[in-house]
């Protein structure tokens, strides 16, 4: 624990301070490390080799230093890597999705990092290899096989690939009969897995001769929808819809009725939707409801009717309404699922004979089915104290079956097909742990921490059965708290490597998420962002007070916007934490929100505020922005992970943060930065490479809280 190789800062890199003052609203901010932001950052996103030499030299020096400091943990890192790998099915496949005459799925061969796209005839027959992701990845420093879409006649497949990590996807088109790619190459498409929750990489017209896609502009923003005709150059693509307001982005989705596509246009607080007829390539997008600031809605097309999840008319936690496709305006909306405060409707799906929706109350999800004829409703019951539930509506409309996936922090994921008429569920896929796993060896609990304003903050705990709860156990405390995204109490096998070594794994469901309804989100954004930070610290203090753990035994953990939470926690209560582990941390909030040219900045203003225009927003962000609030303190040990090609949290944010932290830390504890020189926001795309990243961060966390002996060298 006190090994000098891990605690000494004598040989740590020191970034050259180059003071750069800026003035906004009469307030002067000095940034000593602004030079770490490459002037050619757009070029760097697409080609990491274009990083200026002085910046590259600094990042490589940081990587070498981190490797040196972490070298004594190499045996533990390797042990963890093998352990994590043993929990992964070597030959694995996703649950197949039925579409017409086929079932489509992804499959991993033995030892493969990347999946194959495959299908099998629905009536039975041999599996057909469509795209070999492992073969495409050979010889590339970075490769990600993104989502794919098949044409209605199943003769073509549009699939997306990213070869830089910057999420500039290229859509390729494969002729599935000839088993070869066509000449079509559509660059700069938006097709990442995050967006794919709301959109598709390509939406084919019903004649299969063209497809729609969302295109990224020079600032990495999806602000337009284009039509590409098969067999033509992307330079000839036709503009279908363009959003000109900064901060708004677009996506396109094929509706399961088989006739329509929807184009969603949104920012973080407002949305509008257009409908396109896929039978007519000359059809103009039809607006459903004109945008109104603060009104969000999402559309499902049920042939001649629309079913809409919306927060209009004071429906803070959303309701579901219906209207005729021919008369979509809000004046014609009729409530189908009325608003209930505190019961948040998360998403919905329409089938030929049923409406289904996923809701959440006090952090617990629920699936409800409503028969369109007669209106009878029933909920699908789950007997778990804390669990995660997802709804997958599939691709088909005229069916009585829905699919859902259920897991808990202790119980691996199970995917079911559920018959909405008979109410029977059939297990489709169970996540297997080859090395062995008994959920009964673990305890999952939901507890609550009191906030200073009287709110009860939900906390999910996972620990080994029989663990002494006397304050001696270390704890990893994970948090996020932004965009209304809940922290899910799902099963992630890598957590077991910490829990099996005596760590309590805690999920803090702080404000800024939506675990307790939409107000839980709005009370954790902009002027009320302080609630996210105070909630997280309240959870830490509750865990200490209830003797789950002790001060100085907690490792704080959060990625991306959750990294902001980590930066604030380090500044405000460093004595509570043994260490901080954060991936792609959003820690330079003020400078990022002051730069309208960065990829996400305009779209982020509704979330954090616009400090360019508002002095109040400037002062609000300045009061908590992690970088600006560093000062001489006894900081805990820190490991920050970054990526040069990250378009969401740019590499220079964690680089600047680590440089300033190290210059101000009085504790002598290591402050480390590891930057992936060819990679992006979501980490390594290869399934085993990702496990190596977990092995590194887990080893650091175990060392920080005193559970990792240092090997002799």
Q: Check pLDDT > 50 for residue 65.
A: yes
Q: Judge whether 380 lies within some domain.
A: no
Strand partners, 175: 156, 180
Residue 3: what pLDDT?
53
Residue 708: what pLDDT?
84
d(CA 122, CA 104): 9
Q: Check pLDDT > 60 for residue 481.
A: yes
Q: Check pLDDT > 70 for residue 367.
A: yes
Q: Judge whether 252 lies within some domain.
A: no
Sign of CA dihedral 566, 570, 575, 581: positive
Residue 683: what pLDDT?
84
Angle at the Cα of 638 from the Cα atoms of 633 and 640, rounded to 5 degrees: 130
Q: Judge whether 369 lies within some domain.
A: no
Q: Check pLDDT > 50 for residue 711.
A: no
Residues 384/439, Cβ–Cβ less than 8 Å: no
Residue 672: what pLDDT?
98
Name the band, by pLDDT with cuts 50, 70 and 90, for residue 198: very low
Q: Judge whether 517 lies within some domain.
A: yes
CA-based nearest residue to 260, from 326, 192, 334: 326
Q: Which helix (H) or strand (E) holds 136?
A: helix 133-137
Residue pLDDT, tens place only, 411-427: 999 999 999 999 999 99
Q: Average the pLDDT over each of 1-10, 15-24, 605-614 and give the range with the smallest value.
A: 1-10
Q: Check pLDDT > 90 for residue 568.
A: yes
Name the band, by pLDDT with cuts 50, 70 and 90, for residue 192: low
Residue pLDDT, tens place only, 298-308: 999 998 999 99
Residue 194: what pLDDT?
43
Active site annotation includes 198: no
Residues 476/507, Cβ–Cβ less than 8 Å: no
Q: Which helix (H) or strand (E) holds 496?
A: helix 496-499
Name the band, by pLDDT with cuts 50, 70 and 90, for residue 199: low
Q: In this structure, what CATH number is given to the domain that contains residue 568? A: 3.40.50.1820
Report the pLDDT averaged over residues 477-482. 98
Residues 222/209, Cβ–Cβ less than 8 Å: no
The residue written with tokens 């970088």 in the block is: 627
Q: Judge whether 269 lies within some domain.
A: no
Report the pLDDT averaged over residues 312-320. 97
Q: Check pLDDT > 80 for residue 90.
A: yes
Residue pLDDT, tens place only, 631-642: 999 999 999 999
Active site annotation includes 681: yes
Q: Which of 237, 257, 535, 646 is catalytic?
A: 646
DSSP state of 590: H
Q: What is the pTM of this model?
A: 0.96
Report the pLDDT averaged over residues 162-176. 95
Report the pLDDT averaged over residues 143-160. 97
Q: Check pLDDT > 60 for residue 235.
A: yes
Residues 165/680, Cβ–Cβ less than 8 Å: yes
Q: Average the pLDDT over each of 22-31, 199-208, 565-574 and give the range with the smallest value.
A: 199-208
Residue 200: what pLDDT?
84
Total structural domains within the chain: 1
Residue 11: what pLDDT?
81
Q: Check pLDDT > 80 for residue 6.
A: no
The chain-wide mean pLDDT, for the chain, equals 95
Strand partners, 171: 160, 186
Q: Check pLDDT > 90 for residue 549.
A: yes
Cβ burial of 531 (10 Å; 0-12, 13-18, 19+) is buried
Residues 83/103, Cβ–Cβ less than 8 Å: no
Q: Check pLDDT > 60 for residue 610.
A: yes
Residue 197: what pLDDT?
41
DSSP state of 665: B
Active site annotation includes 560: yes
Q: Judge whether 140 lies within some domain.
A: no
Q: Check pLDDT > 60 for residue 193.
A: no
Report the pLDDT averaged over residues 159-169. 93
Pairing status of strand 102-108 against strand 92-93: antiparallel
Determine how many CB atoms are found less than 10 A away from the CB of residue 375: 9
Q: Judge whether 613 lies within some domain.
A: yes
Tell me the H-state helices in 527-631: 530-545, 561-572, 589-593, 601-608, 615-624
Name the band, by pLDDT with cuts 50, 70 and 90, for residue 709: low
Report the pLDDT averaged over residues 648-675. 97
Q: Check pLDDT > 80 for residue 9.
A: no
Percent of the chain exceeding pLDDT 90 equals 92
Report the pLDDT averaged over residues 370-378. 97
Name the band, by pLDDT with cuts 50, 70 and 90, for residue 679: confident
- Write out the residue range of the structural domain in which residue 698 sits: 4-86+436-704
Q: Check pLDDT > 70 for residue 4.
A: no
Report the pLDDT averaged over residues 490-518. 97
The residue written with tokens 């209605």 in the block is: 152
Q: Which of 407, 560, 625, 665 is catalytic?
A: 560
Sign of CA dihedral 189, 191, 197, 203: positive
Q: Which of 220, 260, 681, 698 is catalytic?
A: 681
DSSP state of 192: -
Residue 710: what pLDDT?
57
Q: Judge whether 462 lies within some domain.
A: yes
Name the band, by pLDDT with cuts 50, 70 and 90, for residue 363: confident
């Amino acid at each position: 624990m006190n090994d000098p190789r891990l605690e000494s800062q004598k040989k740590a890199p020191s970034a050259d301070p180059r003071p750069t003052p800026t003035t906004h609203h009469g307030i002067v901010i000095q940034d000593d490390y602004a030079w770490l932001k490459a002037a050619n950052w757009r070029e760097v996103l697409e080609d990491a080799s274009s990083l200026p030499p002085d910046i590259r030299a600094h990042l490589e020096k940081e990587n070498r230093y981190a490797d040196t400091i972490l070298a004594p943990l190499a045996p533990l890192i390797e042990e963890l890597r093998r352990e994590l790998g043993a929990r992964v099915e070597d030959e694995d496949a996703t649950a197949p999705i039925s579409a017409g005459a086929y079932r489509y799925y992804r499959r991993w061969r033995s030892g493969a990092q990347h999946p194959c796209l495959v299908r099998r005839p629905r009536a039975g027959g041999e599996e057909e290899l469509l795209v070999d992701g492992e073969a495409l990845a050979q010889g590339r420093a970075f490769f990600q096989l993104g989502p794919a879409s098949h044409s209605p006649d199943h003769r073509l497949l549009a699939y997306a690939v990213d070869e830089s990590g910057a999420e500039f996807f290229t859509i390729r088109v494969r002729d599935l009969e000839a088993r070869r790619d066509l000449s079509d190459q559509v660059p700069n498409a938006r097709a990442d897995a995050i967006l794919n929750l709301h959109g598709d990489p390509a939406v084919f017209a019903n004649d299969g001769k063209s497809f729609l896609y969302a295109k990224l502009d020079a600032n990495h923003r999806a602000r337009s929808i284009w039509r590409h005709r098969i067999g033509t150059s992307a330079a000839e693509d036709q503009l279908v819809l363009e959003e000109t307001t900064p901060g708004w982005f677009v996506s396109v989705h094929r509706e399961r009725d088989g006739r329509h596509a929807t184009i969603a246009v949104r920012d973080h607080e407002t949305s509008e939707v257009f409908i396109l007829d896929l039978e007519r390539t000359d059809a103009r997008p039809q607006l459903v409801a004109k945008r109104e600031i603060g009104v969000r809605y999402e559309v499902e097309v049920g042939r001649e009717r629309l079913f809409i999840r919306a927060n209009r008319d004071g429906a803070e936690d959303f309701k579901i309404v219906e209207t005729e496709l021919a008369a979509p305006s809000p004046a014609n909306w009729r409530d189908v699922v009325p608003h209930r405060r505190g019961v948040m409707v998360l998403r919905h799906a329409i089938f030929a004979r049923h409406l289904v929706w996923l809701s959440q109350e006090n952090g617990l999800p629920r699936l409800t089915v409503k028969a369109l004829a007669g209106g009878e409703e029933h909920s699908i019951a789950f007997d778990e104290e804390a669990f995660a539930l997802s709804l997958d509506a599939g691709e088909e409309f005229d069916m009585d079956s829905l699919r859902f996936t259920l897991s808990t922090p202790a119980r691996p994921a199970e995917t079911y097909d559920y018959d909405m008429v008979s109410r029977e569920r059939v297990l489709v896929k169970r996540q297997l742990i080859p090395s062995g796993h008994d959920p009964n060896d673990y305890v999952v609990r939901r507890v609550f921490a009191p906030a200073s304003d009287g709110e009860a903050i939900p906390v999910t705990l996972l620990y080994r059965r029989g663990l002494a709860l006397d304050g001696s156990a270390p704890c990893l405390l994970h948090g996020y708290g932004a965009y209304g995204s809940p922290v899910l109490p799902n099963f992630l096998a890598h957590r077991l490597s910490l829990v099996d070594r005596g760590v309590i794994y805690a999920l803090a469901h702080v404000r800024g998420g939506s675990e307790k309804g939409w107000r839980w989100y709005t009370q954790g954004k902009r002027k009320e962002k302080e609630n996210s930070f105070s909630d997280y610290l309240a959870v830490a203090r509750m865990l200490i007070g209830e003797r789950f753990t002790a001060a100085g035994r907690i490792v704080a953990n959060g990625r991306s916007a959750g990294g902001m939470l980590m930066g604030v926690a380090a500044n405000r209560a460093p004595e509570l934490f043994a260490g901080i582990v954060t991936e792609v941390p959003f820690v330079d909030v003020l400078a990022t929100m002051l730069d309208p040219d960065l990829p996400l900045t305009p779209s982020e203003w509704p979330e954090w505020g616009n400090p360019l225009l508002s002095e109040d927003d400037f002062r609000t962000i300045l009061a908590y922005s992690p970088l600006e609030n560093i000062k001489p303190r006894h900081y805990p040990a820190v490991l920050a992970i970054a990526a040069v090609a990250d378009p969401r949290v740019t590499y220079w944010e964690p680089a600047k943060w680590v440089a300033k932290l190290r210059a101000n830390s009085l504790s002598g504890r290591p402050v480390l930065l590891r930057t992936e020189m060819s990679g992006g926001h979501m980490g390594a795309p290869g399934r085993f490479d990702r496990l190596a990243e977990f092995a590194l961060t887990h080893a650091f966390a175990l060392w920080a809280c005193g559970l990792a002996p240092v090997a002799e060298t």
